[in-house]
A and B are shown apart, each in its own frame.
Chain A
């Protein structure tokens, strides 16, 4: 890595990108799917596809009736109203046992029937894999290191890109050698530059307490809660929730339904969550809250009020959380990273940009091999080359196949099985491992690419059929009834499958340059100056 700045940056970009590229692809691919975790979870619980919305008033009445009939002796009641993310009404109560065990019921808001959707991590699987690789703190550090490398690759990539403006729109898919890949790599990389910087940086900021624990470690002995308390007190932000001990004297309550109705009329807004401490006690405390986030807001806001359950008088009018100073920066980073601002259009933009990031990483990995094809002199070099070539297949195409297998496993593993959520993940890991074995065993990497991309396409293309045949709302039903979360997963799977099939077909086509590891490379150029031979 001697020589000019450009050369050393090219070296850094090439080798750093290769070492972390496999991990980065996994992080960005699962991150792409993490834009829509709620829709994926909805798809993965076909038991709930039939659930219909009921009017707000009926749902409130159902919740109150359920609590009064089943939990008169409870020490706490909770109600969470259905919303577009959760179709079910959730009611819960804490018993007066010494251990205070809680009961939670998920009800169909229209019929009141208790629902038992299958256990699955759903879209949460991709989210967890995205930030921790399902490996806890260790995984977070690994992802963090890869994302740091992403930032390094962004900066070094800009430095080594000599004709950033002249090549702005240049894409030559039919060009020989690695040039078509290079065009795709730089094109997506340059257009998505703001997204890449934003998503990498905010991703690190969200986990600032993991990556930079020193401050809290020294000042609060690592107690993050103590830090949060002091922060709140200092900023005068979020007021603490009013808690009253039980009086121990039973007293009739103002009907909960009436209280909710009164506050809704006062605010002109629906109540979205209810907490009642000590129902039926003289000190019954009712907290009513409305949570909302309009498309123009960066943060969601919660409006809450605390009432005396026995008299109905207001005990504490409160406001939602306030984010000030550095806390606001972190919260904004979180909002920006997770696409929790704007509407559905914003989410699709994030999905597309994140998919483009996968293209950047994938083409980068492929280019490393194409540029070195046939140039490995020693057997050791050739072995290393082949391993890289095969790991590329398994980490890009293999992960896609494994992710598609997750959706299949969700429907093919019986719904009643006890530890089926863990089993689903085991299927993903097994399929991925098989993809690694398959990639290593095939004689030509091109064949491995074609077969794994083809398998991914087949799994995706058949997904709407699997959905319809295993008890879910099929495409005609979901479209007709406006269940766009379920239909969206089906349609996206088909669209992605078509793209994969097209890619597999492109890989299968006789390439302009001879394929195979031993074939001579038509484009002879020094490996470390990737852009030097492009036509002006």
Chain B
């Protein structure tokens, strides 16, 4: 059950991260539309909130809340550390469908550095 909380928090951080224009640009090479950014941020924090419920459900409030703080930290840091190494074409299904274009399928860090 706490593994589910970890996954939820990880996904939540992804949402929060890509709601920021700097990281949205890493994916799509353009500014995020305002509504999409808001949606990403909202769903990101919602998922992180759900992971708290998940942890509390598994371990109770006293221990669950402590574990939640830990797994939010670990999932967030591991997401951010892995982000530059993530193959870019895996993160954007639409790009995969369109087929690659020059410079489009490299690792994220090529763009971000």
Interface residues, chain A, with chain B CB atoms under 8 Å away? 166, 168-175, 184, 187-188, 191-195, 295-298, 336, 341-342, 345-346, 349-350, 352-353, 356
Contact = CB atoms under 8 A, between A and B. Distances in A.
B19 to A, nearest CB: 11
Contact of B67 (A172, A188, A194, A342): A342
A191 B69 CA distance: 10
Interface stretch (B30-38, B46-54, B56-64, B87-95): B56-64
B12 interface: no
Closest 4 CB pairs of A and B: A349-B70, A191-B77, A174-B113, A296-B60
Contact of A195 (B17, B70, B83, B112): B70
A297 B64 CA distance: 10
Given A169-B23, A195-B73, A349 B67 contact: yes
Given A173-B113, A174-B109, 10 more contacts: A168-B17, A171-B84, A173-B109, A187-B81, A191-B76, A191-B80, A298-B63, A341-B63, A346-B67, A349-B74
28 contacts: A168-B80, A169-B13, A169-B20, A169-B79, A170-B22, A171-B80, A171-B83, A172-B109, A172-B112, A173-B84, A173-B109, A174-B110, A187-B80, A188-B81, A192-B77, A193-B73, A194-B73, A297-B63, A336-B66, A342-B59, A345-B67, A346-B66, A346-B70, A349-B71, A349-B74, A350-B70, A353-B74, A356-B77
Contacts of A166: 20, 22
A172 B71 CA distance: 23
Contacts of B66: 336, 341-342, 346
B2 interface: yes
Contacts, number: 86
A198 to B, nearest CB: 8
B77 A295 contact: no
B80 A298 contact: no
Contacts of A346: 63, 66-67, 70
Nearest to B23: A169
Residue of A188, A295, A341, A349 with highest tally of chain B CB at under 10 A: A349
B63 A187 contact: no
Contacts of A342: 59, 63, 66-67
Contact of A295 (B59, B71, B83, B109): B59
A298 B112 contact: no
Residue of A166, A191, A295, A336 with highest tally of chain B CB at under 10 A: A191
Contacts of B110: 174
Contacts of B23: 169
B106 to A, nearest CB: 12
A296 B84 contact: no
Nearest to A193: B73
A295 B57 CA distance: 13
